[in-house]
Structure 1
Amino acid sequence: MLQLSQNCDLVQTQHTRMFGYFTRLQIGLFLAAQSLVGSEYNFYLIFTYCKDKKMIKQRKRYSVTLGVVLLAGTTVVSAQIIKNGPYIGPAIGYYVFDSDNTNNAEDAFHYGLSAGYQFTPKLALELSYFRMGSEIKDSMVDEEGTPQLAGEDLDINMFRVDGIFNFLSNRWTPYLVIGYTRLSQDPQFRYDEDDNPVNVGLGFKAAITPALSVRSDVRGYFDEHGESDYGVNLGLFYLFGSPPAPPPKPRPLPVKPPPEPEPIVKPIDPCTLDDDGDGVNNCDDLCSGTPKGSRIETTGCRILTVPKKITLEILFDSNKAVVKPQYLQSIQEVAEFMRKYPSTNTEIQGYTDSRGSDAYNRKLSQRRSDAVRQTLIDEFGVAGSRLTAVGYGESDPIADNVTAVGRQQNRRVVARIETVVEEVEKSVR
């Protein structure tokens, strides 16, 4: 058992004791429950309120004590807790008014009923009504002019609308509560509207069964007059609805027959294997991992189709058809390409700039293409049957003919040779 106390002398459980200028009130609540599956645990809650009152200066000191002890059995309740649906339950509490309160009310117990709806495991909305039997604190005259003496009965009604936010969603749940409160009293000492404080608090909820739980919280009440009241609440709530379906029981594992003895396997010669399936065994395959469907040669390497090309471009002086020595190296490279790929042929195309007549330029471009063709034949031994020379005159310029630089680029002979050949993939070994 755990019991906390402040500004109180020795307090005996579940007894009221009065002496001197001190008044002590103690409430003990014992709850014992048995779960749906038969597991048993005890819940022992002690709520202690102590009030010390000095008559000389009317100075008050308050202490609110809440102790909780849980004695659990050796097993845990396994039933699933209902987490959504409507709920209802009775509640009691104690309300401590601000020491300077204008309600002219003594601190008092209250009792009532709360009902709400649990929308999700962590969010609920709740409506509550409480009746508070207090006493008039100081002799005054109420709003109707009737004198009221200190100590006479003062009835207070309390209505609350609260939002409850659970930090967890299991058997033991701390929670935050934020809500709106309306207090009305008879007789009325205030000459304005009834109190409408906002309440904020922290509490703890413990499930006794899947549908039944006990809940306790401490709250502060803050109104528009700058007053701060405090209170504690204790309630027992029943949640309607069905608990979530328990998880299906695991199916029993099938009994496996004893394993059969593994057959004796003769070792396989790796050279008889063909991992990539190209028809060449692993020992002779120089290119492993050949894609299926590829053409291969005897070493297991693919036969690849590779495009080959070369381009020749020679520039000429104005009104000239003489091949300059600086272009002989380029012409030689074309000749070597054609010797390497004997199936290739090419057209040698000659061009001029735009100066001069079209007929003259066509003849000049023909002489230029003939000069390059003859160089390939005479100097580098390319067969004339593989070469065709054509003059296109000033057509198809590649630059403007306004500037000298542009005209220089248009006075040209070009040849493009393309072919496709088959090559064997290089070995990866």
Structure 2
Amino acid sequence: MKIFNITLLAALISTPLAAETLDETWQVGVFGDYIKSSTNKENKNSWQQIEAGKSVGVDLHKIINDYWNVRFELARSRYDIENGNDKTYGYRYGADAVYKLPESDLYLFSGIKRFNNTRSYNALNVGAGYGFQVNERFSVYTEAAIYKDVNYGYVDQGFKLGLKYSFGAEQQRPVSNRADNSAKPAIQPVAVTEATPVDSDNDGISDDKDRCAHTPATVKVDSTGCTLYAEHEVAITLNVAFANNSAKVKPALIDDIQRLADFMKEYSDTQVVIEGHSSATGAAQYNLALSQNRAEAVKDILINKFNIKASRLSAKGYGQTQLLSNGNSAKDHSLNRRVVAKIEATTKKVVHKG
């Protein structure tokens, strides 16, 4: 009697490009699979001693929400029969409910299939799969399943490998709010006035007491005729989101990091601590290292892409110790996967009259 074992190997590859900027509605997949018939069928002439089958097929997924999909499947199979001395062809079709495990690329599914090969029968199936995101549109998936024949009582096994394409509109990332530090007070041209022995620059201070000649007439001056300045606080904040189990900065967020770099170039005496954070899923020690890697990734972009001196930057990972949200939904975990930074500086602005 032949014995068939199926082992599903899932290699967890880091930094998938999560499709958080894609509003997925449908997915279509193409796949190949291997169906191992029950050994009891292999010994029965009524089943033509059917053995293993190799299939190609398509499936269509309807995205219900973050956790559930509905899938429709159609496959064409070629089976070995007559103790491997001949071939026969068949097909199967059916539907599955797919449950996606939170904060994971693993999923479970269950459904019903109709098989037509040497005989026709219905089967209930259960299985598990793993999906690896190649980019926002494409993903690779692999599955293992068992099929319970409800007409004759046999159990078949299956292994699948496929490629999926996601349909949906790309979402525009909202522009983050920050302090507008670009506007500077316009310096008014020096009013052209005829010199007088009393007040040449018309600032209200006579020439014999005026230590700052030619101050603009529109600005306030002190008792010595010099321009008055008021100190103002300016600040900028950075909040960079990350995909699950990833320390790779998404290309769409580089502009936010550039705004922080521009602020540091304008205020050249500023320094910043870049803080990395993680969600609460997984081991605390692993999340601490992941959050440190996220902070280092943003720091490296500031140094290597925008030429900020390393001496002005420091990176610190906090792991899961400073959660923004304590919930356990996918949205809560997404809010907690972040790198934040804040810089404050003091600048002087001219005090104008009126």
**How high is the TM-score relative to the length of structure 2?**
0.46
Which structure exhibits the higher relative contact order, with contacts defined as CA atoms closer than 8 Å and separated by 6 or more residues? Answer: 2
CA radius of gyration, larger in: 1
